[in-house]
Structure 1
Amino acid sequence: MTMSQTIDEFEPDRLELDLENPRFGLTDADGEPEALRILATRANLRELWDSINQRGFERYEPLVAFLRPDGKYVVVEGNRRLAAVKTMLDPTLLDGIRITPPPLDPAIKDSVKTLPVIVVAKREDADDYIGFKHINGPATWGALAKAKFGVKLFATTQIEPGTSDTRIQTLSKRLGDSRQLILRSLVAYKIFEQAKAAGMLDEDMVSDNSLDFSHLYTIIQSPAARAYLGLTEAPLNEALIKDDPIPADHLDQLGHLMGWLFGSDGGAPVIKSQGTDRPKLAKILASRQATETLEQTRDFDRAADEAGFKTDSWLNSVIQLATLAKNVSNGVAELPADMHPDNVERAQERLTSAQRSVVAAQSQLKSLFP
């Protein structure tokens, strides 16, 4: 549905923050005071406070709201800006946290007496606009907020008549993001919700939004990880975008995985680097012995060795060495005829040293594996 472009003016007190704002991630805001504190803590209101004091409230981009039965307007787009205005008008709203808005410049006060608002009939009428802006647009949310919004949007997405698209494909077109990325994010979010409800996630980390959600939606790309969670090794599908996607008989495995990715009472997360540790974990999960070792000891390096990661790494080094050696050999013919003798001597020394190392490695291999 096309969103209305009629702009009205409302006093800030008539506008309410959206307690379903995806910025809250897995945290539930019990009311507007808590929502204001969450946004002040997580959403960098300081840059907005400074902007408002310097230039006044920027009116070129209205807030978007719908009317609630009690006569209040719930802002579904522009919550950060509304929070910035409300807390500058009444700094006591942030009592209890160590963040204080700057005094509102008297010369600017008139610019926030009323705020520009586009009123829509219902929340869903603004979904496409919000999705464009915050998924791939000029003010993108973090991965967890995107996934939360995507799950909500998926629930209301209807397949376009006359097409063979799935709901995910339809949603992909609406959001302008790839089908696979949206699917992974939404399934991961439902898994995340299930883990939180089961008490598997550190509440403090959930509250301050410091969990790296990308660890989860990346690891479930691995067939071994999906099998470990009881989802089978088959590719993800939209049927998994549901409450409690992990079977009850695999909740222990879910608890282990959450601990390895995000930490738990049993210790810190084993994943330190997305680029190097995540592939190791996927390989560990493909090995029953290595997985059991990680479950029992949380010794990530030992489990990786048992999964053959050290062997794979060594073989990759051999492949790289062979490629480099070929390049070096082919490159000799292209060297300049007047190459300095010192450089020739240095190259000979390095090549001789490399040759000795290769011969030694071959000898050790022959001895260990006759």
Structure 2
Amino acid sequence: MTTPTPSPRVFDPAGVVFGVVVPMLAAAAGVVLTYVLLPRLPEQIATQWSGDTATSFMSPTGSAWLAGVMVVIVGGGCSGIAALAQAQLMTRRIMLVIGLTVVGLIVAVQIAIPIQQLDMTTPTDAPLPVDAIGAGLAFGAVAGMVGASLLRDYRVRAVATEAPSADLPRSAVELPITDQVGMSASGLIATAMVLAMPAALLCWFADSWWLMGVYLPVVLLTVVLLQFRLVVDADSIRVQNMGMSAIEYGTEEVLGAKVTHLRPFQDFGGWGLKAKGRGNYGVVTRTGPAVVITFACGNQLTVTTARAEEVAGALNTLADRRLARS
């Protein structure tokens, strides 16, 4: 009797909780709090500032509902991708961190604005909730990292049944093989400066530097996402980022591995984790040697690493040994 193949999981439970439920509860909390505080709030509260001066006003309930909608649509729209079990794991983790960081920012401001204006008769004197901005970003980012660490790869795996081509490299299998495959320090500094420059100019023209508190965490996150670690052992090929496996394949899935010379912009359109068509992923952080690994499911992974020849040779030899035993 043939054992039925289990259906692939559609939703990741951790992704549903952190990517969908958490943003909705956060949005609801801000709205409920505003209604609780409504008797002590002025008819119009300050909702926008130019520098330190309040410039726009709205009813407390209107402001609360607007913020709640923004949390669900913007923050939840990003983080909700984490719930899709078959989506690429790294993409799901990045979108969850970004989405919950946005949720934390909006909800913190949504809560801080009415609290700071309790019993206030002149909302024009309301201060900009700078502390809430920083706290919301930090809390949201931490929640996003916690949720991202709980996401799992539910990708359907296919075991390779063919040996790698004879013209592919072979070498002694000395595992594990590890390599830091991120950008150089000078490249990271240059990238951070380019990303921070627009915000710095905006702050200079506005004569207020609080916006940098919002923008700098985004720059930091972008720089962190350009740092990867490649780990190859007898069981798997893993690309790690932020201490988590961003991409992972089993060695039993390998159809073959080769070495190529890669140019990030010309070959993949940029640096970092890239996709070039469906199932063709690249972890590209510098010009130079790269290992290109093809899998039985049809996916292909390209990683720029100085140990490309060593990785390719070891994977092809492992595949030969596995098939010889079967």
TM-score category of the 2 structures, normalised to the smaller one:
under 0.3
Question: Which is richer in helix?
Answer: 1
Q: Which has the larger radius of gyration?
A: 1
TM-score after normalising by structure 1: 0.25
Structure in which a larger fraction of residues adopt strand: 2
Q: How does the TM-score come out when normalised to structure 2?
A: 0.27
